[in-house]
Structure 1
Amino acid sequence: MDKAIVKHESNYPRAQIQKWIKNGQVKVADAIVTKTGFNVKVNDLVIVQPTAPPALKAYPQDIPLDVVYEDHDVLVVNKPQGMVVHPAAGHPDQTLVNAILYHTQIQSNNEYRPGIVHRIDQDTSGLLMIAKTALAQESLGRQLKDKTNLRRYVAIVHQPFTEKSGTIEAPIGRNPQNRKQQAVIENGRAAVTHFKVLHNFADYALIECQLETGRTHQIRVHLKYIGHPVAGDPLYGPRKTLAGKGQFLHAQTLGFYHPRTNKWMEFSIDPPAIFQQRLQELQS
């Protein structure tokens, strides 16, 4: 029973599905089944009634913010490596959202993600734009959808390149073999990443990536797909890699049209010290 459900619904771990079965939250042909070994037949109607997750609600916390720019509508911050963007299971607080709520009062229909229009992974550092008003929320969200903004990253990756630049166009979805990962799969969502090689080293390369779409883990998945995983990536990279606290991936440049003035605004920020230190070591 549990194996059959996992095969068709990979968003939940098998242990969680087994718990739902034992708790009587699974029906087969309108009958409650409580045994994980129940034999499901072809064309059986299986209904799973998962337990609703507890509501998440962030609260203000006095956490230092590296503010790059701020006005009435927009806030641009430099997120440090290791900080989660918004509360989630396992990270109920100490997130960027908690810091934003303390820094400024932002009203939002989504109480635990005020002003967040895009995000970067926990161990990716760099620039994020935050909407402080409804006008900004709508405008910045539309720019992301219309691909009229700019998101440019730098990364240290495994293996030098033979080409100077390229475009990776490959659909991304949840990895059917590992639910914690994303992967390039046939029926995934369209994803496009442009890259340019800045410098080749003996075993690594420094590259620049520009996002055309914004899928979960997109750069990390695409670079692994072409054989150049991000150095230090614990989820998609090899174990033998550069010493650090996660992937060497930094959101360096961010550009968008101001929601109120429609003026183009562009910001850049240097990678964190550990990123620059590893670069110096590779260059020497």
Structure 2
Amino acid sequence: MSRDHRSFPVPDGLVGQRVDAALARMLGLSRSAILAAFDAGDVYVDGRPAAKGDRIVQGAVIDVVLPDPREVDATEDEPQPVPGMRIVHDDEHIVVVDKPVGVAAHSAVGWSGPTVVGALAAAGYRISTSGAAERQGIVHRLDVGTSGLMVVAKSELAYTRLKRAFRERTVDKVYHTVVQGHPEPTKGTIDAPIGRHPKAEFKFAVMADGKRSITHYEVMEMLPSASLVTVHLETGRTHQIRVHFSAMRHPCVGDSMYGADPTLARRTGLDRQWLHAVELSFEHPASGERFTVASEYPQDLQQALDVLRGDYG
């Protein structure tokens, strides 16, 4: 059976990105399909064999022979226990987890670490088979560096209804973050479009041509050098809270990617952004009743907050 051969110039917007990431974005390939193509030596850039981590240059042409889908392993996430991942709720239709830092929602190009999907598989959970192979059951995501609550669909009914609920913005997503300085006003809405950063891979920025992004916030506690803030997301763009507060010149404490003070991060002991998904509220996909779950701060965030509160002394 002949395989599908593709040849195309790379759009300017992907210049500087890794070859595997560019293929994923342009062709919508799964992680396993991309790995299979590279393993078979079937990816070329400007006529030369390419490695996954090679960077795209201006005017490059990619040639790729796509693997037969029947030859690609459909299991994207290796079952892998995740210490510290807590099951907050479990029923016939959904499972809610409290995700630790350093864990991705699902597998992705460039990520080989633990995932929520893999952890659930290791624990014997069967989740919805709807969606792309590497995202089955996943109806929303948290960044690797963000801890807190995630709901995963176990039934097809739950997957369909929760995807719709997130799309129609009927899910209430509440985060707590500690940001540098004191935002003014202390309560407000940030309505600023977010798009991919023009010069930095895996980074986002407020961009005139970005997607509409809305963040509602209120300062709960002012500290000498920072503020504890509650955030309600109306939209769910990648890195939305981090980008919006950075644009306000109040980056999340510890968030080096978006301009946080490294000295303050070291003093608080943080090696990630102070950001935690503390509450999820939505209509249960089976009963239709309002369902709410909450999470406490993990130890590293609580310790950092205690350090900042101790500045009063």
- For the aligned pair, the TM-score class normalised by the smaller chain equals 0.7 to 0.9
Shift of 1:132: 0.3
Distance 2:174 2:66 in 1: 37
Question: Which residue pairs with 1:59 in the alignment?
Answer: 78
- After superposition, residues 56-95 of structure 1 pair within 5 angstroms as 57-64=76-83, 65-95=85-115
Shift of 1:107: 4.1
User: Which one of the candidate residues 283, 289, 298 is aligned to 1:272?
Assistant: 298
Using the size of structure 2 for normalisation, the TM-score is: 0.76
Shift of the 215–52 alpha-carbon distance from structure 1 to 2, 3 Å rule, reads farther
Question: Which residue pairs with 1:184 in the alignment?
Answer: 206
Which deviates the most, 218-227 or 56-65?
56-65
Shift of 1:153: 0.3
How many residues are treated as equivalent by the alignment?
A: 261
Shift of the 47–93 alpha-carbon distance from structure 1 to 2, 3 Å rule, reads closer
The answer to whether the 8 A contact 2:127-2:152 is kept is no
- Structure 2, gaps ≥5 residues long: 1-8, 23-43, 51-56
Question: Which residue pairs with 2:248 in the alignment?
Answer: 226
Distance 1:51 1:10 in 2: 23
The answer to whether the 8 A contact 1:58-1:92 is kept is no
Distance 2:264 2:63 in 1: 43
Using the size of structure 1 for normalisation, the TM-score is: 0.83
Question: Which residue pairs with 2:53 in the alignment?
Answer: none
- Structure 1, gaps ≥5 residues long: 26-35, 41-45
Shift of the 107–261 alpha-carbon distance from structure 1 to 2, 3 Å rule, reads closer
Q: Does 1:96 align with 2:116?
A: yes
Distance 1:23 1:120 in 2: 37
User: Which one of the candidate residues 192, 200, 204 is aligned to 1:170?
Assistant: 192
Question: Which residue pairs with 1:33 in the alignment?
Answer: none
Task: Please state whether the residue corresponding to 1:240 is helix, strand or coil.
Answer: helix
User: Which one of the candidate residues 13, 24, 27 is aligned to 1:10?
Assistant: 13
The answer to whether the 8 A contact 1:58-1:111 is kept is no
User: Which one of the candidate residues 147, 151, 154 is aligned to 2:169?
Assistant: 147
Shift of 1:119: 0.5
The answer to whether the 8 A contact 2:178-2:228 is kept is yes
Distance 1:276 1:14 in 2: 36
Distance 1:63 1:277 in 2: 22
* Partner AA of 1:105 in structure 2: R
Question: Which residue pairs with 1:261 in the alignment?
Answer: 287
- Per-residue CA deviations over 1:87-110 (Å, capped at 9, x if unaligned) read 123433521110112231224143
**Percentage identity across aligned positions?**
33
Q: Does 1:195 align with 2:217?
A: yes
**Larger % of helix: which?**
2
The answer to whether the 8 A contact 1:116-1:130 is kept is yes
The answer to whether the 8 A contact 2:17-2:201 is kept is no
Q: What's the Cα RMSD here? A: 2.6
The answer to whether the 8 A contact 2:76-2:134 is kept is yes
Distance 1:134 1:279 in 2: 40
Question: Which residue pairs with 1:241 in the alignment?
Answer: 264
